[in-house]
Chain A
Amino acid sequence: MRTAPTTEPAVVTRGLVKRFGDNTAVDGIDLTIPRGGIYGVLGPNGAGKTTAIRMLATLLRPDAGEAEVLGHNVLAEPKAIRSKIALTGQFASLDEDLTGIENLVLLGRLQGFSGPAARRRGADLLEAFGLSDAAGRQVKKYSGGMRRRLDIAGSLLVTPEMIFLDEPTTGIDPRSRNQVWDIIRTLVDGGTTVLLTTQYLEEADQLADRLAVIDHGRVIAEGTPGQLKAQVGSGALKVRVVDPAEREQAAEILATTLGGGVVREADPTALTVSLQEQARTSDGLAALEQAGIGVETFAFGQPSLDEVFLALTGKPAEAEPSDEDTEEPDPAAAAAGDHTGAGR
């Protein structure tokens, strides 16, 4: 859809700094974000993600450093940047008192559509996002998922070259989250560059082609999700025992035989062991069998980004993706490529 893709990066920042009083929210960020694809910025609450994205979207002026977005300097040519980007903020960037269609017509007219053209464009977008039935309803009566979809629709009245999505799935149900993910992937297929912030490790893993991990206003790691995971070790063994009472014993056996850290999951039967050497996985399982501990399932997988975060910062990410409240089978998890087997 996009004409003449260029090799020039979408975003380049050098030593970007933003302070609020004594608090340095962004403390010298260097980033190069390629055109096309999804770039994830991952970090816990208060890491500086939103501040960074707001500087790139020309809403905040950096205190130091430089940033270029789509070839324009954020301080010198903010208007040129604004004509090429769209921003979906952390809290829905919509007028809650207006109806869905009024919001889109408002944004459409501001971007230069005539009245009738803006109404047509708004109606088309509502239709495509499955919101036609709610067109005449005030946004404050929308559910979280509907708000998010309308919010993203509001960013697409004119197709942006780059879209900033600040925590697009925070606080919405898993089904809406999957819809938002699909919408984001569709945008990328259309040639738009997506910069997405998230505190959900799973989301970064699922969506991002590359990602930067941010903590206390600094980039602590950068690369593809695979590269980041490779920094942490060769993988993890996930085991579920039959009897929760035997979990503690199993944990000790696995720690001794495999020599890695053992994480006791919220599920009282589940354990995750980080592996030093993949080849010794079978030793661990054999040891469990010898001790007479029943294993319901085991799975061998890449380390999760949660483990990556732990390894990089020395502390767990403060926000955990909540898998417990998933209402339906998550197609993303099923496609994650774990080798799963049932054993005894």
Chain B
Amino acid sequence: MSAQTTHQASQARTIRGVLLNDDQRPTPSGAASASLTYGWRALLKIKHIPEQLFDVTIFPIMMTVMMTYVFGGAIGETMAGTGDSSAAVDAYVQFLIPGVFAQTLVMITMYTGLTLNRDISKGVFDRFRSLPTWRPAQLVGALLGDQVRYTIAGVIILAVGFIMGFRPDGGLTGVLGAFLLLLVFSFCLSWVWTTVALLMRTEQAAMGVSMFIMMPLTFVSNIFADPQTMPGPVRAFAEVNPVSNVVGAIRELMEGTVDAGSITTVLIYCAVLVAIFGPLSMFIYNRKS
């Protein structure tokens, strides 16, 4: 009993020893620093749960190989027009790789929302919201951390594409430019998923709604086929679809035919996405119970 009391007294002394005085209080970190810190948290999660890289490694390989060889013969045939199926596939590879590159990264952005939805259901979310930091930092940081995931996925797709015979005329500069543009677009599109994640109560619901938005965005586009071949209303959607515009700009960059107009269009889409879904996400985030 007395040994225990002594132990308690010494524990109390130790704890009192590590409490800071008022004048030792640091200024809470600013917007950029807080966002980077949350980004660091996202990277730590990759370190501790490397399995979560499955979606950015295996999935892109699967998509690239599958899409090319399933559609290559059929759709490529109309592009090559030679009747030779290997020439058709080769022609389709040049067309499809930039598209699959964009599609896969765009699809992976969805996981940002799902991760956030899981985060919210845990106690740590309350802790973060009770800190005196810039509140959007938690979301911005998560999106910044995801840039690493997108980069991994992008490198894998381009490597697989190269093995399959993809030879972009735009060279390394064109590919890097396209990559950068796609990362910017992915970051901006992610705000749609943060909004969905904050609105939906469960991860499954968030997944369902995200897929519902994702499928038309990626399939009713110029990724797999030329919209000119589609019937009127579908073609109209495919042409205004932001994903089509991104893919168009990426193809141009990779082909070395840079067009400032299409890049500007993509950046306008980016700005609009952030301007709508950024504040919307934060509005819901601040009122989340």
Rounded to whole angstroms, the CA-CA distance of A60 and B289 in the bound complex is 6
Can you give 23 contacting A-B residue pairs, CB < 8 Å?
A: A1-B21, A58-B129, A58-B130, A59-B126, A79-B132, A82-B130, A85-B130, A94-B124, A96-B122, A96-B124, A98-B48, A99-B48, A106-B40, A109-B37, A110-B37, A128-B14, A128-B17, A129-B15, A156-B18, A187-B15, A187-B19, A331-B1, A331-B5
Rounded to whole angstroms, the CA-CA distance of A20 and B288 in the bound complex is 12
**A186 & B15 in contact (Cβ 8 Å cutoff):** yes
Rounded to whole angstroms, the CA-CA distance of A54 and B146 in the bound complex is 30
Does A202 lie at the interface of the complex (its beta carbon under 8 Å from any beta carbon of B)? no
Most buried by B among A93, A99, A154: A93
**A128 and B18 in contact, given A82-B130, A89-B126 (Cβ under 8 angstroms):** yes
- In the complex, the number of residue pairs spanning A and B with C-beta atoms less than 8 Å apart equals 132
Contact residues, A146-193 vs B (CB, 8 A) = 154, 156, 158-159, 179, 182-183, 185-187, 189-190
Contacts of A154 in B (CB 8 A): 127
Contact residues, B18-74 vs A (CB, 8 A) = 18-22, 25-29, 33-34, 37-38, 40-41, 44-45, 48-49
Rounded to whole angstroms, the CA-CA distance of A60 and B287 in the bound complex is 7
Contacts of A97 in B (CB 8 A): 44-45, 48-49
Contacts of A109 in B (CB 8 A): 29, 33, 37, 40
Taken residue by residue from 185 to 211, chain A's Cβ proximity to chain B (1 for < 8 Å, 0 otherwise) reads as: 111011000000000000000000000
Does B260 lie at the interface of the complex (its beta carbon under 8 Å from any beta carbon of A)? no
Enumerate chain A interface residues (CB-CB to B < 8 A): 1-3, 20, 54, 57-61, 79, 82-83, 85-87, 89-99, 102, 106-107, 109-113, 117, 124-125, 127-130, 138, 154, 156, 158-159, 179, 182-183, 185-187, 189-190, 329, 331
Contact residues, B107-165 vs A (CB, 8 A) = 122-124, 126-133, 137
**A182 and B29 in contact, given A124-B18, A156-B19, A190-B19 (Cβ under 8 angstroms):** no
**A98 and B289 in contact, given A59-B129, A91-B122, A111-B132 (Cβ under 8 angstroms):** no
**B26 & A113 in contact (Cβ 8 Å cutoff):** yes
